[in-house]
Structure 1
Amino acid sequence: MSLDAAGLFALLPAVYRTRDATNGGPLQALFEVLATQSGIVEENIEQLYDDQFIETCMPWVIPYIGDLIGYNSIYQTAAGLDSRAEVANTIGYRRRKGTPIALQQVAMDVSGRAAVVVEEFRRLITTQSMRLPRPHLAECLNLRRSAVMDSLSDLAFDQSNRTVDVRRIAPRIRDVQDPDPAPLDIALHGPGRFNIPDIAVHLWRWQPWTINQAPAFVVDARRFKFNPIGLDIPLFSLPPTSYLPFTHINTRLDVPQPIRRGEFRRELSDFYGQSMMLYADNAAIPATQICCANLADRPGGSWCKVQAGKIAIDPELGRIQYADDLTPPQSLSVTYNYGFPAAIGGGPYDRTASLGQEVPTQNPALANFFAQVGTPTFPDLATAIAQWNLQPAGSTGIIVLTGFERYAIDLTGANAITLASDSTLAIAAAVPVPLGGPRDMTWNNACVTLLGNIDVIGLPPPPMSEGEIPPIGQLIINGLLIEGQLTITGSAVAVQLSDCTLVPGLGAANPGLSPCEPSVIVENDATLCIARCIAGPIAASAAGSVRVCNSIVDANSPCCVAYSGADGYSAGADLHVEDSTIVGKVRTRTMRLASNTIFFARLGKHDPWPAALWCSRRQVGCVRFCSLPSPAITPRCYECLPPDADSAAKFAPHFITLRYGHPSYALLSGDVPMAVWRGADNGSQMGVYYQIEETEAVSNVQIRTPEYLPVMLEAGIFLHPSQPLPSPVLPPFGYYYGVRPRTCCGDEDDSAQTVFHGIGVELL
């Protein structure tokens, strides 16, 4: 603002200013109001100038500028992308219309995802002419070229040539039903791919997330794993941050996908140091000491014999092994990238927005109690919790766990977390701000792993003179990966879990427990809120209430219990669930609201439950835009699937995998019905990935691609990944006594039962 209130008031003659001062300054107060309004008008005038340019205009102006160049609106995606980039590049698109680089650029701009455009007619086997030999169109594969053999399963970067396929690559013309049971792949592309008019647009659904210098999981003195809880995970390549528009055709290193052993062996320098790094005793290990090996399990539990003087990395399993002649380090840290479709669960993504409204994380400097675990004052989490338990009622506190550390804990019994009346405690992962104050934290690039169980005890409130109900204590847990159980007991408390992972099945830290053991147990009338989390089953007393938003609750099988009372059978607390995926049976007292949620469950053989989704009170609540099991006992339903019991199989959701730790965990597959893919209230997909608006992003590519195709050509959209993983093969029955356990009780109709086999077994 050019003039403030003092400047405007100074323009008045002194006689009026003097008289105004004598009367108490009402005129000066009026000028302060005038100055405020003048500032608003001045800012609006400046914004009107900015609104003339696509780079600086307000979002509501974008369609008006686009209309000047004949731009048609598309869906706005959730990745923070509006149509600004597309409008800004529209002239560039049209100048390059019909070229692969224009198709690639427009696909990335409208979807916010990595894209590769392949002209399939360049991969056709043709009759060679001596006048124009084309050796790159050879009929046969060169088996000596490992790169060609490795890429056969990679549709986008397959280097082999094919015979012509006369089937169309464009989606088939069909009558669309309402609701539509057709698979997603049918709506995106046709059965053909190798023909003269075919253009394939490949879109990647994964995002790479970087873990920086985290402790490696120790198998023994020479063997390690990248994953902090010892899971076998594929390592992902990290694409470059960005390129200038229309300057670069994407290659394999420009897309986020798992690193194959073959490409890692051939181009080790492209991945080691860029997408992964090892640190032995805080010193970086050079690439000359790294080799690639298949470290899969061998008979006896061994991995493989590593070349002398080398450290072997298996990028497909995320394993590390030292050679026998090397001295293993005292500590091994790893930097790597893993893949996942969305920012949910414990991860290194930015959590500032989700914690911005929470107290005391909103301003740690105002907290009564502050502890940073790993410092001399608070060497471990138990010490910090013990100090917090000594704080008086009404205190606010924050306990910060930094970086990607891993701690073994036992916060049960005498070490449990206690919450007094009107107290608020936050336990969060963060990174200290360099050169900042002792309480300056960044809620980003941090995800701490806790191995063990946590008890939360609500202390009885003090008696109030007038009989009022005092405020309950509150616990906030954010940015943690917990391999153990969370139990809430005592008086009423409010517990909020956000951006956390409670490992489904409780993981390797609890090998004696059932994989269906609950991750969260609520034994009192507590209020539990879960947002953007991955968790195992929830057992909550009917006296409390539970809210689940943008989360995955996984019982490890559709016929195990995902939600119920504390005893695992009775009705659980009142449930409110939105934009989530629930794998397993659900029994609740009241379903207050279920919206845009997939309930993937079914009854096992001889199951005593009357329905896989069982609400005791049907007169209260609402279920809208959800995928439900059949049968289901629910309140009134609106626009839910299946539309009737006879069509339950046609409208059942399909996933790439439901195995926790896989990059495609709970991701809808290419054979999912379109009714599920577009079944949410805004036309997006049901389930936990509703939040990333993937449906809108893919639709944008379908809308824009035909506008920039060369004449007489047609295109199909291919998603990576799309095909569901094959189910594990169980060993065949034999003529002997014994027990044949099921890998998952959701594999077959009788899979809820352990299968006994032997002579006379049919008589049992």
Structure 2
Amino acid sequence: MNLSSRDRLYELLPALYRARDAERGEPLRALLAIIGEELARIEADIGDLYDDWFIETCAEWVVPYIGDLLGVRHLRQLHEVADFSQRAYVANTLRYRRRKGTAPVLEQLARDVTGWPCRVVEYFERLATTQHLNHVRLHSPATASLRNANALELTGGPLETVNHTAEVRRIAAGRGRYNIPNLGLFLSRLQPYTVQGVSPQPVSNPPDGRYFFSPLGNDISLFNRPRTEVEITQLAAEPDLPLPLRRRALYDDLEAVRAGIAAGQPVRSAYLDPARPVFQIAVPDGTGQFVPIPAAEILICDLSDWRRPLTSKTYADQSLPIRVAVDPQRGRLAFPTGVVPSDLMVSYTYSFAADIGGGPYTRRETIAIAAPGDLALTVAQRGGGDYPTLAAAIAAWQASSATTGVITVLDSATYTEDLTLTMSPDRTLVIQAADDQRPLIRLADRLRVAGNGDRASLTLNGFWIEGGIDLAAGSLERLAIHHCTLLPGWRLDVAGNPQFPNRPSIHAAAPNPDLRLELARSISGAVHVAEDSDGLIAGDAILDAFAPAVPACAASNGERIGPPASFIRCTVRGEVRVRQIDLISESIMLGRVLVARRQVGCTRFSFLAAGSRAPRRFRCQPDLALAAFAAAHNRPIAALTTAQRSTVTLSVTPSFTSTQFGHPAYMQLARSCPAAITQGAEDGGELGVFHLVQQTQRLANLRLALAEYLRVGLEAGVFFAS
């Protein structure tokens, strides 16, 4: 509160009383200042009450009450989904009801209720039928044209135009689709992430003009950066959905742009509009400033064989320049033969299931802010920071007398570093990426931490890290990994396979009696920690040792029993060998959990691989399935045969869309995953690292809303477009 508002009541007094009050040390002024503060709070509360009259400005807790006035059905709250609200669902209720039963309304309804982009398909339009001669539908032929590659490429998806014969299986069960009363709702559950200012990885060293968009040097699919739909009047088109980019769609789009230039009638690109391009390639000009290559000078083609583009292409007797070729389905780009830019920077959109690991998403709640007396340093590779490298910033902190250091990387470039940290007692270092950035640290070998780490702490936040972290004996008391991706296997080849699958992402040598390792919202390979340490606490994390029988958490030698550990909403592929488990909750443990001390700790709402020796279990799988099977056959669990146990266990074993790191759906539960896993958490959600997505609750909300807005006689099926 400023001085004028504090003295507002005091200034209303006659000057005589103010003068007498000043003679007595201004006790009246102090009293009226307190009253003025309370008055300001009342006025602010009155202003908030006015805001609460409107759905656009009301507080979040008011949304259900406004919805109740409109008769809106109450849906499940998605408390763990960041920035998700039912505000849009309530705000659009009247618009829904005015257009009730139409496909665009159902599309917008699904988007508002689940938070996922949606495309609705009316399957009667996709039926191959005999047409009346008085009503010929030329746009809907019964047979597919083999010359239309674009239409054939979209077959089976939300944007298909090829017609089919009728199916009689029910669409609600996800089996049949093509019938008169059927509607299909295709949800894009993978989230798009746009990363800017990335250093693409060259194919060769030195660079020869061929690059991967991915700084890891592997093939990736580029995704569309969806446009925002503002009206419920039409169905979503391909540029409106966060789907993988197709060569054919982009090629046709840019060909139309070049043809328009040649004809003197400019055409706006649907994908590479300068205001919101799906990807961008920038090279330095004569002054060293990065300038994006125009859309008309980009050629879309298949670069599986790394063919080089020509330097020009002719349209209507007019030659237009071509500066670079792009393959969006492989994430590759190539310049014409002999052209090698002095520097290169790209921006693109990729997809992942949630805000796990390093990524260009907001991390405000975990960003460290330097306090007075702390040393705050910034790093930016191409200028704008205090230092161009992390090594230089770390050296500056180590040479300073500051107890706490905060080093912030301001861009998403690749930092090739050889890092060694020498810790001192009572010192704290935070190395973090700026909000919405995703830099890559490419270590020459390992990030080595040495020195006397008594009461010392190191925090890493927001990075992709190629290489491992090696802690010398007694070098740290606390290592916190937040929102980071420690590449399982250290590095990837072109196909995305790990180059060093047997190397752990984190190794802590013994003795290390006070070390505590924290993994939060992160992806990591195996963790080998000194057996005498305080242990590991992992929450919303992935630990991937590439095989269920390979140790994912063990002692520093990778074989013996490791320190105490806790896993909360984690997915672990590999064995866990620890002295003690404090808690396993809502996790998927694909390898055996082998615990030496089972008298303490608890395992709850989790899946444990067969042969696990864990502390007492509560509502875990496959125990629940085995108990149900035994009860159904009126026999004790101990009487079940080995074959019966194996069959029951397989029936509740998790299945994944992909288990390969680098795939957009890495460690995402498959559509065919058993309900015991997708609904096995304490709140009815899925087990594992993507519990925070709350997919089960979103789909339940959608089915509840569809019951109100679906036309009589129609049946809807929900499918995943990604």
Q: When the two structures are superposed, what TM-score results if normalisation uses the length of structure 2?
A: 0.85
Q: Which moved more, 1:654-663 or 1:138-147?
A: 138-147
In structure 1, distance between residues paired with 2:343 and 2:453 = 45
Specify the SS of the correspondent of 1:649. helix
Deviation at 1:23, TM superposition (A): 6.1
1:486 aligns with 2:469: yes
Q: Are the aligned partners of 1:403 and 1:448 in contact in 2 as well (CA < 8 Å)?
A: no
- Which residue in 2 is equivalent to 1:266? 252
Aligned equivalent of 1:387, options 380, 396, 402: 396
- Which residue in 2 is equivalent to 1:444? 436
Deviation at 1:15, TM superposition (A): 7.5
In structure 1, distance between residues paired with 2:370 and 2:7 = 33
Specify the SS of the correspondent of 2:198. strand
In structure 2, distance between residues paired with 1:262 and 1:712 = 38
In structure 1, distance between residues paired with 2:333 and 2:527 = 35
- Which residue in 2 is equivalent to 1:538? 527
- Structure 1 counterpart of 2:301, one-letter code: A
Deviation at 1:118, TM superposition (A): 0.9
1:313 aligns with 2:326: yes
Deviation at 1:196, TM superposition (A): 0.6
Deviation at 1:91, TM superposition (A): 1.1
Specify the SS of the correspondent of 1:671. coil
Unaligned 5+ segments in structure 2 are: 255-268, 285-289, 313-321, 627-644
- Which residue in 1 is equivalent to 2:164? 162
In structure 2, distance between residues paired with 1:89 and 1:706 = 17
- Structure 2 counterpart of 1:85, one-letter code: A
- Structure 1 counterpart of 2:560, one-letter code: S
- Which residue in 1 is equivalent to 2:98? 95
Q: Are the aligned partners of 1:530 and 1:551 in contact in 2 as well (CA < 8 Å)?
A: yes
Aligned length: 653
Aligned equivalent of 1:217, options 174, 177, 201: 201
Specify the SS of the correspondent of 2:249. helix
1:69 to 1:323, Cα distance in 2 relative to 1, 3 A: same
Aligned equivalent of 1:623, options 599, 603, 607: 603
Q: Are the aligned partners of 2:491 and 2:498 in contact in 1 as well (CA < 8 Å)?
A: no
Aligned counterparts, 1:78-227, within 5 A: 78-153=81-156, 155-171=157-173, 189=174, 191-220=175-204, 221-227=208-214
Specify the SS of the correspondent of 2:7. helix
- Which residue in 2 is equivalent to 1:256? 242
Q: Are the aligned partners of 1:429 and 1:448 in contact in 2 as well (CA < 8 Å)?
A: no
- Which residue in 2 is equivalent to 1:423? 427
- Which residue in 1 is equivalent to 2:516? 527
Deviation at 1:111, TM superposition (A): 0.8
- Structure 1 counterpart of 2:392, one-letter code: T
Write out per-residue CA displacement over residues 160-218 of structure 1, whole angstroms, 9 at most, x where no aligned residue: 001111111123xxxxxxxxxxxxxxxxx3x1101010011110011111121322101
- Structure 1 counterpart of 2:280, one-letter code: M
Aligned counterparts, 1:737-756, within 5 A: none
Q: Are the aligned partners of 1:419 and 1:475 in contact in 2 as well (CA < 8 Å)?
A: no
- Which residue in 2 is equivalent to 1:692? 693
Q: Are the aligned partners of 2:488 and 2:498 in contact in 1 as well (CA < 8 Å)?
A: no
Q: Are the aligned partners of 1:706 and 1:714 in contact in 2 as well (CA < 8 Å)?
A: no
Write out per-residue CA displacement over residues 566-593 of structure 1, whole angstroms, 9 at most, x where no aligned residue: 1111122211221221111111111111
Aligned equivalent of 2:491, options 499, 502, 507: 507
In structure 2, distance between residues paired with 1:30 and 1:635 = 61
Q: Are the aligned partners of 1:79 and 1:112 in contact in 2 as well (CA < 8 Å)?
A: no
Write out per-residue CA displacement over residues 711-756 of structure 1, whole angstroms, 9 at most, x where no aligned residue: 11110110123xxxxxxxxxxxxxxxxxxxxxxxxxxxxxxxxxxx
Write out per-residue CA displacement over residues 335-394 of structure 1, whole angstroms, 9 at most, x where no aligned residue: 211111212211111222221xxxxx31366523535354696342222222322234x6
Deviation at 1:447, TM superposition (A): 2.4
Specify the SS of the correspondent of 2:129. coil
Specify the SS of the correspondent of 1:718. strand
Aligned equivalent of 1:578, options 568, 573, 577: 568
Specify the SS of the correspondent of 1:194. coil
Same amino acid, percent of matched pairs: 35
Deviation at 1:513, TM superposition (A): 6.5
Deviation at 1:446, TM superposition (A): 4.1
In structure 2, distance between residues paired with 1:280 and 1:4 = 54
- Structure 1 counterpart of 2:217, one-letter code: G
1:82 to 1:407, Cα distance in 2 relative to 1, 3 A: closer
In structure 2, distance between residues paired with 1:499 and 1:459 = 27
Q: Are the aligned partners of 1:369 and 1:395 in contact in 2 as well (CA < 8 Å)?
A: no
In structure 2, distance between residues paired with 1:559 and 1:68 = 57
In structure 1, distance between residues paired with 2:152 and 2:497 = 40
- Which residue in 1 is equivalent to 2:76? 75
In structure 1, distance between residues paired with 2:370 and 2:531 = 35
1:345 aligns with 2:357: yes
Deviation at 1:136, TM superposition (A): 2.6
1:498 to 1:131, Cα distance in 2 relative to 1, 3 A: same
Q: Which moved more, 1:270-279 or 1:481-490?
A: 270-279
In structure 2, distance between residues paired with 1:373 and 1:147 = 43
1:512 to 1:291, Cα distance in 2 relative to 1, 3 A: closer
Write out per-residue CA displacement over residues 100-159 of structure 1, whole angstroms, 9 at most, x where no aligned residue: 111111111111110011110111111122222222332211111111111114x20111
1:36 to 1:285, Cα distance in 2 relative to 1, 3 A: closer
1:396 to 1:373, Cα distance in 2 relative to 1, 3 A: farther
Write out per-residue CA displacement over residues 383-421 of structure 1, whole angstroms, 9 at most, x where no aligned residue: 2222322234x611122323122122222xxxx212222
Specify the SS of the correspondent of 1:137. coil
In structure 2, distance between residues paired with 1:705 and 1:575 = 44
Unaligned 5+ segments in structure 1 are: 172-188, 297-301, 356-360, 431-442, 462-471, 602-611, 722-764
1:372 aligns with 2:379: yes
Q: Are the aligned partners of 2:415 and 2:439 in contact in 1 as well (CA < 8 Å)?
A: no
- Which residue in 2 is equivalent to 1:633? 613
Q: Are the aligned partners of 1:126 and 1:137 in contact in 2 as well (CA < 8 Å)?
A: no
1:407 aligns with 2:393: no
- Which residue in 2 is equivalent to 1:232? 219
Q: Are the aligned partners of 1:572 and 1:587 in contact in 2 as well (CA < 8 Å)?
A: yes
Specify the SS of the correspondent of 2:615. coil
Q: Are the aligned partners of 1:348 and 1:444 in contact in 2 as well (CA < 8 Å)?
A: yes
1:587 aligns with 2:573: no
In structure 2, distance between residues paired with 1:43 and 1:277 = 46
Specify the SS of the correspondent of 2:408. strand
- Which residue in 1 is equivalent to 2:632? none
1:512 to 1:290, Cα distance in 2 relative to 1, 3 A: closer
Q: CA RMSD in A?
A: 2.5
In structure 2, distance between residues paired with 1:539 and 1:656 = 28
Q: Are the aligned partners of 1:402 and 1:446 in contact in 2 as well (CA < 8 Å)?
A: no
In structure 2, distance between residues paired with 1:37 and 1:149 = 69
Q: Are the aligned partners of 2:114 and 2:699 in contact in 1 as well (CA < 8 Å)?
A: yes
Q: When the two structures are superposed, what TM-score results if normalisation uses the length of structure 1?
A: 0.81
Q: Are the aligned partners of 1:706 and 1:715 in contact in 2 as well (CA < 8 Å)?
A: no
Aligned counterparts, 1:2-17, within 5 A: 4-11=5-12
- Structure 2 counterpart of 1:267, one-letter code: D
In structure 1, distance between residues paired with 2:59 and 2:291 = 48
Q: Are the aligned partners of 1:587 and 1:613 in contact in 2 as well (CA < 8 Å)?
A: yes
Q: Are the aligned partners of 1:404 and 1:449 in contact in 2 as well (CA < 8 Å)?
A: no
- Which residue in 1 is equivalent to 2:299? 291
Aligned equivalent of 1:455, options 443, 448, 458: 448
Specify the SS of the correspondent of 1:270. coil
